[in-house]
Amino acid sequence: MTDHDQVPRRSCLAIILAAGEGTRMRSAKPKVLHQVAGLSLLGHVLKSVAAFEADGLAVVIGPDHDNVAAEARRFAPDAEIFVQAERKGTAHAVLAARDTLAKGYDDVIIAFGDTPLVLPETYRHMRALIAGGATVAVLGFEAKDPTGYGRLLVQDGDLIAIREHKDTSEAERLVKLCNGGIMALDGHRALELLSQIRPNNAQKEYYLTDCVEVARAKGLRSRVFVVPESEVMGINDRVQLATCEALFQARKRERAMRDGVTLQAPETVFFAHDTEIGRDVTIEPNVMFGAGVKVADGAVIHAFSHLEGATVGQGATVGPFARLRPGTDLGPEVKIGNFVETKAATIGAGAKVSHLSYIGDARVGAEANIGAGTITCNYDGYFKSLTEIGAQAFIGSNSALVAPVKIGRGAYVGSGSVITKDVPDDALAVGRGRQIMKEGWAASFHARQAAAKAQSHKK
């Protein structure tokens, strides 16, 4: 038995408060459904919570917010959803999850649905403070401008109270150490503390922050865990949403570079929350990743490319000015050149689509060469159909492949063809008007026209 086995594993409940009104978003949808890097604010919080493996999860939502409940279930099917019917403050919101709290977890983490950048390890540090004997652990930060935040009042290293901005004295207002909002509580004391909170403050709300004073009155300790201000960024309006997006992008870019990705102009590359990039990948300026992109080692994404729901194989090159849409799967060493759009297309190892093409609903074999301007005509206005191109096939420039259609392995399609019938392996298909030739026609045409024009000037 190792030492590790002897430490009893603590159980943890995470409660996410997401019953915010979000009126300052000026939006038809609830605040926590707005997105950063292609994922809802709530999704970000659920992802961090999942990363520290809470044993129980409760999400407190506002009335009529079925779409918030659905988003919670999408990420955490087992989450218990509670509705806070009236918005009476953060402690009141936590108590909406009273039934789950009463199950008696060791640690309770209270996260905010509008504070998406808190790292999983931060939640872990807060749990460690509780495991170390604190009854309340509070996430603190030094605010550049503390206006609006609750102030953390510390005496001899102990947190003695949190004062909401509206309730501060002049002296307290000078305190820069602020409450990030997120809290951890001793799970065996949580209900007792929360139920003793009273709404005696400027806003007549039940403040979660009053836990600290209630605990202190019982001789129980509160501790602060301090993180950079950027991590506790909360979102109330779309200006803050954009600031949060910028912070997230900066974090993701740095992570990519530290993991071995070359970004020539990092500030111009935009990642999604789930973008996965391998080592020795180079990403040129002005590249945008939508959700669901994976790029394998050694690939190069040239400037001005847009990728979404796509997999890029090892050593493949994409762009400049390429658009990879969902369902694109590029094998190793594939080349996708400029002004090429792909969608639901599997492209085999070493195949090339170098210029000005649309390849949609297609399977392209290894080492095939798709000439400039090739279009898969995949849609008849009602149905999408598949185009299959065999390995090592050669599609001449400016061809239209009218799906459903199969081009055999090693087959050759003449430039400018419209292909409507399957082409067997190793065959040549030419589907265009035949070229006709009239020797000397141009010379006699010029002579005739020039003479006619000279005649008309004389008149």
Binding site for ligand UD1 (CB under 6 A): 17-20, 60, 84, 87-90, 92-93, 112-114, 149-150, 162, 164, 178-181, 207-209, 234
Cβ-based nearer residue to ligand UD1, 32 or 263: 32
d(Cα 80, Cα 76) in Å, to the nearest integer? Answer: 9
State in angstroms the smallest separation of the CB of 104 from ligand UD1.
Answer: 23
Cα-based angle 389, 394, 399 (whole degrees, multiple of 5): 80
Chosen from Ca ion, ligand UD1, none, partner binding at 164 (C-beta under 5 to 8 Å by type): ligand UD1
Residue nearest to Ca ion (CB): 234
Give the Cα separation of 281 and 317 in Å (integer): 10
Residue found under tokens 């430490």: 7
By C-beta, is 248 or 271 nearer to Ca ion? 248
What is the CB neighbour count within 10 angstroms for residue 51?
A: 13
Provide, rounded to whole angstroms, the least separation between the CB of residue 166 and ligand UD1.
Answer: 9
| Strand 412-413, strand 394-395: pairing | parallel
CA quadruple 52, 58, 63, 69: dihedral, nearest 10: 60
Q: Is 180 in the site for Ca ion (CB under 5 A)?
A: no
The amino acid occupying position 102 is A
Q: Which is nearer to Ca ion, 20 or 408 (CB)?
A: 20
Q: Cβ closer to ligand UD1: 113 or 350?
A: 113
**Min. distance of Cβ 199 from ligand UD1 in angstroms?**
11
C-alpha–C-alpha distance, residues 323 and 305, integer Å? 6
Report, in Å, the least distance between residue 231 CB and ligand UD1: 12
Size of the site for Ca ion (CB under 5 A): 1
Residues 442 and 170: their CA atoms lie apart, in Å, by 94
- Shortest distance in whole angstroms from residue 58 CB to ligand UD1: 12
Residue 406 binds: one of ligand UD1, Ca ion, none (C-beta under 5 to 8 A by kind): none
Residue nearest ligand UD1 by beta-carbon distance: 150
Asked if 234 interacts with Ca ion (CB under 5 A), we say yes
Asked if 72 contacts 79 with a C-beta cutoff of 8 angstroms, the reply is: yes
Contacted entry of Ca ion, ligand UD1, none for residue 209, CB cut-off 5 to 8 Å set by kind = ligand UD1
The entry of Ca ion, ligand UD1, none that residue 60 binds, CB within 5 to 8 Å by partner kind = ligand UD1
To the nearest 10°, report the CA torsion of 75, 179, 240, 108.
Answer: 10
Strands 328-330, 352-355: parallel, antiparallel or unpaired by DSSP?
unpaired
Cα–Cα distance, 344 to 361 (Å, whole number): 5
Closest contact distance (angstroms) between CB of 300 and ligand UD1 is 42
Q: Which is nearer to Ca ion, 234 or 319 (CB)?
A: 234
Judged by phi (left if over 0) then psi (alpha if -120 to 50, else beta), residue 284 lies in: beta
Which region, judged by CB under 5 A, interacts with Ca ion, from 122-130, 231-239, 305-313, 431-439? 231-239
Q: How far is the CB of 119 from Ca ion (least distance, A)?
A: 19
Output 182 or 310, the one with its CB closest to Ca ion. 182
Nearer to ligand UD1, 175 or 377 (CB): 175
DSSP codes of every residue in 315-374: T-EE-SS-EE-TTEEE-TT-EEEET-EEEEEEE-TT-EEEES-EEEEEEE-TT-EE-TT-
By annotation, the residues acting in catalysis are 355
Q: Element (H or E) spanning 39, and its range? A: strand 39-40
Sequence letter at residue 442: A
Residues at the site binding Ca ion, with contacts judged by CB under 5 A: 234
